[in-house]
Amino acid sequence: MKVVDCPRARLYDVVAGAFATLGRQPAMIELGVHKGDNATRLMEVLGTRHAVLVDAWSAEALATYSHFDKLPPWILPLTAFERYFGGSLSDQATFDRTYEVARQRFEGRGDVEIIRDDTVPAFARIRDRHGDGAFDFIYVDANHQYEYVLRDLLYYQHLLAADGVMMLNDCCHSQKGMNQNLGVLEAVGNFMKRADFVPVALTSTDMSDLLIARRGSAMVGALDAALDATDISFVEVMPQMLAAAHIRVSPQGRARVSFA
């Protein structure tokens, strides 16, 4: 696994380089779309042939944020994220507005499919329509709680081509992550014990992004070669170290991945 000194957007260039090497124009899925900013960027950089964008755009989908009646003191209340979502998270109108932004943005594009639903019923619809292994790239960024990320990974692996790649957002253990009750890093660790995937690259940033691909697949080699061809600095570590990763913030406020 390579711990890379770059933001997620540079990793998109690396993924694009890997697809170019493999001679494939990717079909992609994004789980968790919000206004569609990231989907737009991914489609541009990867030059996708088709994109399926899945988001519940529903206040109800965030109800699982914490399972406890009394919010533990290390988890921020949902009101702390109102600025990002553009309104109250208990008000469905906030999500209807965001959905409308995304819908209008991709309106009339035959290469973009929007599914407004929870990721699990969406999985069944995508599988019925496109079949297993139909997608080359899946960006996982919907519900960030442990059970939900694990469930998304276990279902959506079936839609990924043998030489496909998945990317997880907010895959870290950090103060900021704890405040948001993130379970992404723990879920991907569990997933890789159940499925034959390996971590390929982790950004050395807070709210890290992680690339995973099937062990021994051509994609692993293509991503390694694409990274080698860039000027991105990285440190290569044993994949088993992923579980120990945490973010250390320097007194100057710089966030870096540490395994110590």
Q: Which stretch binds ligand SAM (CB under 6 A): 12-20, 123-131, 136-144, 231-239?
A: 136-144
Q: Tell whether residue 141 is a contact of ligand SAM (CB under 6 A).
A: yes
Strand order in the sheet with 50-55: 112-116, 50-55, 27-31, 135-140, 160-168, 210-214, 197-203, 2-4, 234-236
Q: Tell whether residue 142 is a contact of ligand SAM (CB under 6 A).
A: yes
Q: Tell whether residue 136 is a contact of ligand SAM (CB under 6 A).
A: no
CB distance 11 to 172 below 8 Å: no
Q: Which stretch binds ligand SAM (CB under 6 A): 34-42, 180-188, 197-205, 219-227?
A: 34-42
Closest to ligand SAM by CB, 64 or 175: 64
Write the single-letter amino acid at 37.
Answer: D
Whole-number Å distance between alpha carbons of 54 and 140: 10
**x/- map, 42-81, ligand SAM, by CB under 6 A:** ------------xxxx---x--------------------
- Minimal distance, residue 52 CB to ligand SAM, in Å: 12
In the three-class reduction of DSSP (H, G, I as helix; E, B as strand; rest coil), residue 8 is classed as helix
Whole-number Å distance between alpha carbons of 238 and 227: 17
Q: Tell whether residue 37 is a contact of ligand SAM (CB under 6 A).
A: yes
User: Half-sphere exposure of 124 toward its Cβ, with a 13 Å CA cutoff?
Assistant: 4
Largest Cα span, the chain: 52
Closest to ligand SAM by CB, 57 or 106: 57
Q: Which stretch binds ligand SAM (CB under 6 A): 10-18, 74-82, 139-147, 217-225?
A: 139-147
Whole-number Å distance between alpha carbons of 79 and 212: 32
CB distance 139 to 173 below 8 Å: no
Of 118, 127, 186, 190, the residue at the interface with ligand SAM (CB under 6 A) is: 118
Of 24, 38, 134, 150, the residue at the interface with ligand SAM (CB under 6 A) is: 38
Which residues would be at the binding site for ligand SAM (CB under 6 A)? 30, 32-34, 37-38, 54-57, 61, 118-119, 141-143, 148
